Amino acid sequence: MLAFAEKMTVNPSAMTRGDLDDLRKHFSDEQAFDIAVIAALFNFMDRIADAFGVELDSVLEQMAQASPEGEALPEVAAKNRGGPAAVQIDKASDPKSRQ
């Protein structure tokens, strides 16, 4: 489920029928639909927040700044994101550069 949601977030144009088939090995059609909709909704909200310059609240900003990988929640983030789907934080999205 997490690999599906991450691919949908990081590289949505690379999604294939195989990605959905892999998800359906573990979830019903309704659950797979819900997973895709929830991932899409959070991606939508993140993009709107970025477009309007919405800042993180102070607790989340502190967590993001404390994380070496730029993850707001490092304890639940993927530990190894090598390869072409790796997410890189640029200076514009780095909370530390907004100070």
Express each pLDDT in 13-62 by its tens digit: 999 999 999 999 999 999 999 999 999 999 999 899 889 988 878 887 77
Asked if residues 65 and 56 have their Cβ atoms less than 8 Å apart, the reply is: no
- Which residues are within 8 A (CB) of 36 and not within 5 positions of it... i.e. 6 or more apart? 4, 8
Which helix H or strand E contains 71, and what residues bound it? none
DSSP conformation class of 79: S
pTM over 0.85: no
Tokens of 81: 């994101």
Q: pLDDT tens across 1-10, in order?
A: 999 999 999 9
Which one-letter amino acid corresponds to residue 15?
Answer: M
| Domain layout of the chain by residue ranges | 1-54, 55-78+85-91
Report residue 22 as tokens.
């892999």
